Structures are given as C-alpha cells and as structure tokens.
C-alpha cells in the first residue's frame, strides 16, 4: 500500500460528514433529475432545431475531457475538494439562471451552456472522489452513500413531470435553476474532510495513471457502456413526447429506471460478484435495452426495458468503482475519477452529436448505434478480464466498500 493510501478505519463515520455528503449527493443529482427529462424539451420549446439540440447537449460531455480533468487534479493536489465543490456548485446555479434569460439563438444558448458545463460536470467526479476517500478512510460502502443521489434524481424527475403539465415548456429551465441553487447551500454543509494534514501533502511516488493499461481498460470499457446512454439522454423524452405521452408518464419512465438503480446501489454491499462481472452484465443488458428501444416498443414493454437501467448504469458504475478502488491508490482517486469522466465524456459527446444527425434522418433507429457502443465496452471487459480480476498490487488499496 502506498504512503498516500489511508488504511480503512472500521469505526462509524462522523454523523456530520455522512449527513452533509448525503444532502449534497441529493442536490447534485436532483439537478440531473430535472435536467435530463426536460432540458431538451425546453430547448425545443424555445425554437432550437434537432441538429442544434444534439450539439448543445454534447457541451457537458466535451467539457468532461477538456476542462474537467484539470479541475479534479488541481482540487486533489491542493487538498481543496470541498472548496472546489462550493465553487462549481455556485457557478452551475448562476449558469442555469443565465440560460433562463435566453430565447431562440442556438449559438447564445450553446455559449452560455458550455460555460455552465465547465463548472457543472466536475461536480459528480469531485463528489465521488470525496466519497471514495471516505470509503477508504472510514470503511464505508459506496453504494448506500450514492443511492441518495439516485433518490433525489427520482424526486427531481417526478416534480418536473408534475410541473411540465402545469407550466409552459419554455419555463422548465427555472425548475433546473432552482434545484441548482439548492446545491450551493448544500455545498457549504460539507465537512472539510480533505483539510491539510488529513492526507499527505505530496505523495512520495507519482502515479502515472494514463500509462497504466489496466486503468485505461477500466475507464474505456466503462466510458463506452455509459456513453451508450447518449441517445436515451438526448432524445428519450422527445421520442416519448412524440408518441403522445404526457409529462407525468415521461417522468415516470425516467423514475422507473432510477428506482432500479437505487435498488442495485442499496443491495451492493450484499453483491458477491466481481467488479468486472458487474460491468460485463451491465454491458450485455445495455445491448438488449437499446435493441428493444430501437423497435419503438409499446408502453408495457418500455416499462420493462426501463428497469434494465439498474444494470446498464447501476452495475456498470459499481463495477467501475470497485475496479478503481482495487487498482488505483487512494491519494489519486479523485484524479482517476476525472480521467474516467473525461473518457466517458468523449464517448458521450461523440455519441450525442452523432445521435443528433442520425435522429434527424433515421429517428429511433439511432439506438442501434448505442447497442454497438455497449458491445464494444463488453469486448474490452472480456479481453482484459484476467488483468481486471487480478489481486491488487501491494501498493494499491483494497476493493472493499463497493461490493464484490
């Protein structure tokens, strides 16, 4: 185990730390819960065409492999995760407020949203890095911590669904802005967990993550599997709206998927399968999910398909986190999160832009591309399975706390 890795302390985490983290996870994902179902609906309502919707929605994914890795690396190096979370949450809220003042100009919306995304996209990897340090230090389980974010996503989506039937689509942006503002207050409730002296100021040995083939295999496989959700995130609500479903039905479909995700996170401490197998199951379920979705299934089938989100996202996320805890030293875990998010951002942005062009021409058949991406992720896991399942080296952290 490296000098920068903390040995898990098998004591109960301070209540203030646990509560603050749970509340912040909730606010971070409540923004996503209001954004994903109805941001594209808002874009369409203010006159943005399908091609530009694909380009605009790709902006957060692009920042994930440009700005985000720099922010996560600097925050960890300076032991300033909490300060970074407060700053990015504040800029995110201000950005969504500015978006609400715009109408009709795709270039203006793209410019403001790109700036907003530079602050918004680091929130999740910074929070996950903050949480994984707690997993290593206090012997916590990642899944039960993370499920508060998924629960808030459900609440955000349900509230948005109700409001979508009560207010005009062009005003939906204010729901997103309001939830983002709550995140600013929650950020100040985070405990200064990474204060100087808590973790070593400078690791004795630098870790060249991007020259580690096992680490690259982890983030590439996870990036492809998670990136296969691009068409769903971009055009799922638009397709369902075109099929005649109302706001409550659309929100309920999103919620079903996340409820399945919550169940997976809640049960993660009891899961005994290896992290690599979790990722493989997630990829195979994604292939099935997107191939069925491409057939424009009736609502009954769509409900069943949405439940696969527990595997396509939930198991993939748990598997990736378990592999990172196994193969990455704790003192660079936030940086590793940044690199993963950059990889998934590259996959997601490419898929989102391709989806915009393909959806405009072929419609729902775009999900065939998503199935191909998930298949590619499964192949990476299969090829590297032996290395991924190998015991961690003596200078690596244990994989406990994430399941498996």
3-state SS assignment for residue 381: helix
pLDDT confidence of residue 14: 61
Of 64-68, 120-124, 237-241, 357-361, which one has max mean pLDDT?
Answer: 120-124
For residue 293, what pLDDT band results from cuts at 50, 70 and 90? very high
Q: Which residue has the higher pLDDT, 164 or 138?
A: 164
For residue 202, what pLDDT band results from cuts at 50, 70 and 90? very low
pLDDT confidence of residue 305: 93
| φ and ψ of 295, to 5 deg | -90, 5
CA–CA gap between residue 48 and residue 56 (Å, rounded): 10
pLDDT confidence of residue 72: 86
Q: What is the mean pLDDT of residues 185-212?
A: 64
Q: What is the mean pLDDT of residues 199-218?
A: 68
Q: What is the mean pLDDT of residues 95-124?
A: 92
Q: What is the mean pLDDT of residues 356-382?
A: 91
Q: Which residue has the higher pLDDT, 38 or 375?
A: 375
CA–CA gap between residue 354 and residue 227 (Å, rounded): 12
Q: What is the mean pLDDT of residues 159-167?
A: 80
Q: Which two tokens stand for residue 154?
A: 């459900």
Q: What is the longest distance spanned by two Cα atoms in the chain? A: 60
Q: Which two tokens stand for residue 80?
A: 């300033």
* Cβ-Cβ contacts under 8 Å for 110 (sequence gap 6 or more): 52, 55, 56, 59
Q: What is the mean pLDDT of residues 20-34?
A: 88
The answer on pLDDT for 15 being more than 60 is: yes
Element (H, E) at 38: helix 15-45
Q: What is the mean pLDDT of residues 228-253?
A: 85
Residue 238: other Cβ atoms inside 10 A: 17
End-to-end CA distance of the chain: 20
Q: How many residues does the chain have?
A: 404
Closest by alpha carbon to 356, among 89, 18, 51, 44? 51
Residue 84: other Cβ atoms inside 10 A: 24
Q: Which domains does the chain show, CATH number per domain?
A: 15-192+210-389 (1.20.1250.20)
Rg (CA), the chain: 20
* Cβ-Cβ contacts under 8 Å for 42 (sequence gap 6 or more): 169, 170, 172, 173
The answer on pLDDT for 160 being more than 80 is: no
What pTM, to 2 d.p., does this model score? 0.71
* pLDDT averaged over every residue in the chain: 83
Evaluate whether 290 touches 370 at the Cβ level (below 8 Å).
Answer: yes
Q: What is the mean pLDDT of residues 158-182?
A: 87
Q: What is the mean pLDDT of residues 393-399?
A: 49
Classify the C-alpha dihedral 8-13-16-19 as positive or negative: positive
The answer on pLDDT for 207 being more than 70 is: no
pLDDT confidence of residue 120: 94
For residue 192, what pLDDT band results from cuts at 50, 70 and 90? confident
Percent of the chain clearing pLDDT 70 (strictly above): 89
Of 12-26, 41-55, 73-87, 297-311, which one has max mean pLDDT?
Answer: 297-311
Q: Which two tokens stand for residue 363?
A: 């419609």
pLDDT confidence of residue 193: 61
* Cβ-Cβ contacts under 8 Å for 211 (sequence gap 6 or more): none
For residue 280, what pLDDT band results from cuts at 50, 70 and 90? very high
């Amino acid at each position: 185990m490296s000098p920068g890795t903390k040995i898990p302390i098998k004591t109960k985490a301070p209540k203030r730390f646990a509560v603050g983290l749970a509340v912040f996870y909730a606010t971070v994902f409540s923004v996503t819960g209001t954004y994903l179902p109805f941001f594209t609906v808002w874009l369409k309502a203010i006159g943005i065409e399908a091609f530009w919707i694909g380009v605009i929605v790709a902006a957060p994914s692009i920042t994930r492999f440009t700005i985000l890795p720099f922010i996560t690396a600097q925050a960890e190096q300076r032991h300033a995760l909490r300060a970074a979370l407060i700053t990015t949450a504040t800029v995110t809220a201000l950005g969504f407020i500015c978006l609400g003042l715009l109408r009709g100009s795709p270039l203006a919306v793209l410019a403001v949203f790109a700036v907003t995304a530079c602050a918004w996209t680091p929130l999740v990897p910074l929070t996950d890095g903050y949480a994984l340090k707690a997993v290593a230090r206090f012997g916590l389980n990642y899944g039960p911590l993370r499920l508060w974010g998924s629960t808030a996503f459900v609440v955000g989506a349900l509230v948005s669904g109700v409001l979508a039937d009560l207010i005009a689509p062009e005003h939906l942006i204010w729901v997103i802005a309001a939830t983002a503002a709550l995140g600013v207050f929650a950020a100040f409730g985070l405990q200064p967990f990474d204060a100087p002296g808590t973790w070593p100021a400078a690791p004795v040995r630098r870790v060249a993550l991007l020259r580690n083939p096992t680490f690259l295999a982890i983030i590439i496989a996870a990036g492809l599997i998670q990136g296969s959700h691009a068409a769903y995130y971009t055009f799922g609500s638009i397709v369902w709206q075109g099929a005649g479903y109302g706001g409550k039905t659309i929100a309920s479909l999103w919620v079903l998927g996340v409820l399945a995700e919550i169940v997976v996170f809640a049960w993660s401490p009891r899961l005994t399968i290896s992290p690599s197998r979790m990722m493989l199951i997630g990829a195979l379920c994604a292939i099935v999910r997107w191939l069925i979705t491409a057939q424009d299934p009736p609502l009954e089938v769509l409900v069943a398909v949405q439940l696969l989100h527990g595997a396509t996202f939930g198991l993939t996320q748990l598997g990736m986190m378990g592999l990172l805890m196994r193969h990455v030293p704790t003192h660079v875990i936030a940086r590793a999160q940044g690199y993963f998010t950059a990889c998934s951002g590259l996959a997601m942005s490419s898929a989102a832009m391709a989806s915009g062009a393909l959806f405009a021409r072929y419609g729902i058949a775009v999900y065939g591309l998503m199935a191909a991406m998930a298949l590619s992720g499964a192949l990476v896991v299969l090829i590297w399975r032996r290395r991924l399942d190998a015991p961690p080296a003596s200078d690596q952290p244990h994989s406990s706390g994430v399941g498996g």
